Structure 1
Amino acid sequence: MTNTPWEASSGLYKKLALGSIVVSGTGIILALIGANTHNLALMYTALGIIGIGLVSHMIGMVVRTRDARAWRVSQGLIRPKAPKRVKRTPDDTA
């Protein structure tokens, strides 16, 4: 990889990372507004929005891990995963 993970990351990872920051930040701001105005519905909605931001962050981490593994395989640092074996049933004839 290059100097930082951000420089070497895929476009999908960058979109997920920035998207999760924006969504989580929106949820935090809505939670603060709901707490100051004593609006429980807004606060609970904000918690759901923050949860969506966290889930998108987790998905971004999975994408980043996948990209890092693909880079290591392309550089010859690790072996590629072996393909999964297909179980043969008695009905299969070849």
Structure 2
Amino acid sequence: MTNTPWEASSGLYKKLTFGSMAVSGTGIILAVIGANTHNRPLMYTALGIIGIGLVTHVIGLVVRARDARAWRVSQGLVPAKRPKRDKQAPRDTP
């Protein structure tokens, strides 16, 4: 990769990163507003929004790991995964 992971990351990873930060930040702001106004439904909605932000963050981590593995394979640092054997295919036994 290059000097930093951010320079070498894919556009999808960058979008997921900013998206998760925006969604989580929105949820935090709504939770604070709900707590200060004693609005319980708003607080629970905010918790759901924060959860969506966390799930988006985890998806971003998976995309980043996939991109890093693809880079290592393209550089010859690790061998490529062999495709799994199809269990439905007949074997070549006589």
Question: TM over 0.5: same fold?
Answer: yes
Instruction: Classify the secondary structure of the residue corresponding to 1:87.
Output: coil
| TM-superposition CA deviations, 1:31-53 (whole Å, max 9, x none) | 00000000000000000000000
Paired position in structure 1 for 2:88: 88
How far did residue 89 of structure 1 move?
A: 5.5
Paired position in structure 2 for 1:3: 3
Paired position in structure 2 for 1:77: 77
Name the CA distance, whole Å, in 1 between partners of 2:27 and 2:13.
21
How far did residue 26 of structure 1 move?
A: 0.2
Any unmatched runs of 5+ in structure 1?
Answer: none
1:1-94 aligned at under 5 Å gives the runs 1-88=1-88
The alignment's C-alpha RMSD in Å is: 1.0
Name the CA distance, whole Å, in 2 between partners of 1:23 and 1:71.
29
Percent of aligned pairs with the same amino acid = 80
Instruction: Classify the secondary structure of the residue corresponding to 1:70.
Output: helix
| TM-superposition CA deviations, 1:8-59 (whole Å, max 9, x none) | 0000000000000000000000000000000000000000000000000000
Runs of 4+ in structure 1 over 4 Å off:
none
